């Protein structure tokens, strides 16, 4: 079962943005805005104003789709 919480997704996206800023792609104003958004997400989640978390079974591959992974090709065939 996968546990999906909207705050976890949103915080993950903010985290990715902050990692890019840490690598030098963005300035201090960008970081300050992402941190403010993170505080807002946590406040809204604490008040229970986000959609409810869900549990769902992970999709299982069907025989038609195989493993569900993208086929790989070797460099020689590209």
Each residue's pLDDT tens digit, 9-55: 999 999 999 999 999 999 999 999 999 999 999 999 999 888 777 77
What's residue 72's pLDDT?
55
Structure token digits, residue 72: 């790989």
74 found inside a domain: no
Q: pLDDT: is 67 or 12 the higher one?
A: 12
pLDDT for 38: 96
For residue 42, being part of any structural domain is answered with: yes
Cβ atoms of residues 50 and 44 within 8 Å: yes
**Residue 24 has which token pair?**
């030098």
Long-range contacts of 70-74 (CB under 8 A, 24+ apart): none
Predicted pLDDT of residue 18: 97
> What pLDDT shows up at residue 52?
75
Q: Compute CA distances 47 → 3, 6, 40, 60, whole Å.
A: 20, 13, 11, 35
Q: What is the pLDDT of residue 69?
A: 55
Stated pTM of the model: 0.62
Question: What does the radius of gyration of the chain's CA atoms come to, in whole angstroms?
Answer: 19
Number of domains making up the chain:
1
The pLDDT of residue 78 is: 46
Q: Is 73 inside any structural domain? A: no
Residue 73 DSSP label: -
């Amino acid at each position: 079962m996968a546990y999906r919480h909207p705050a976890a997704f949103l915080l993950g996206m903010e985290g990715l943005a902050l990692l890019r800023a840490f690598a030098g792609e963005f300035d201090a104003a960008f970081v300050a805005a992402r941190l403010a958004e993170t505080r807002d997400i946590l406040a809204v989640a604490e008040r229970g104003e986000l959609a409810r978390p869900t549990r769902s079974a992970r999709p299982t591959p069907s025989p038609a789709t195989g493993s569900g992974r993208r086929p790989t090709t070797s460099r020689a065939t590209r």
